Amino acid sequence: MIGMLYPRTLISSLMKGGRSFEKPDFYVQAAREAGEEMWFFSLVDIDWKEGTARGWNGVDPVWKRRPIPDVILNRTRTTRASARRSILRLKRMGKLVCNERNVVSKLTIHRILAKEPALQPYLPETASLTARAVNDLLTANRNVFLKPSRASVGNGIIRISRAGGATYAEVNRLGRTERKRIDVRRIAALVKGRRRNYLVQQGIPLMKYRGRPVDFRVSIQRGADGNWQCTGMVGKVARKRAIVTNLHCGGTSMKAVELFREWGWNPAEVEARVAALGVSIASALERELPPIADLGLDIALDDQGHPWFIESNFRDLRITFRNAGDRQTWAATFQNPVRYAAALLRSREGGA
Judged by phi (left if over 0) then psi (alpha if -120 to 50, else beta), residue 285 lies in alpha
Residues in the chain predicted with pLDDT less than 50, given as ranges, are none
pLDDT confidence of residue 186: 80
C-alpha 89/C-alpha 92 separation (Å) is 5
Q: What is the pLDDT of residue 153?
A: 63
How many Å from the N-terminal Cα to the C-terminal Cα in the chain? 16
Residue 54: predicted pLDDT: 98
Task: Compute the Cα dihedral for 11, 248, 339, 31 and give only its sign.
Answer: positive
E strands in the chain: 2-5, 38-47, 52-56, 64-67, 71-74, 96-98, 126-128, 143-148, 158-163, 166-173, 176-181, 198-202, 208-209, 212-222, 228-237, 252-255, 294-301, 307-313
- Record the pTM: 0.94
Query: Nearest-CA neighbor of 96 among 296, 342, 285?
Result: 342
CA dihedral 161, 162, 167, 173 (to 10 degrees): -30
The reported pLDDT for the residue numbered 194 is 62
Q: How far is CA 314 from CA 60, 190, 265, in A?
A: 28, 28, 30
Q: Which residues on neighbouring strands pair with residue 101, listed in sequence order?
A: none
Q: Cα–Cα distance between 83 and 80 in angstroms, integer?
A: 5
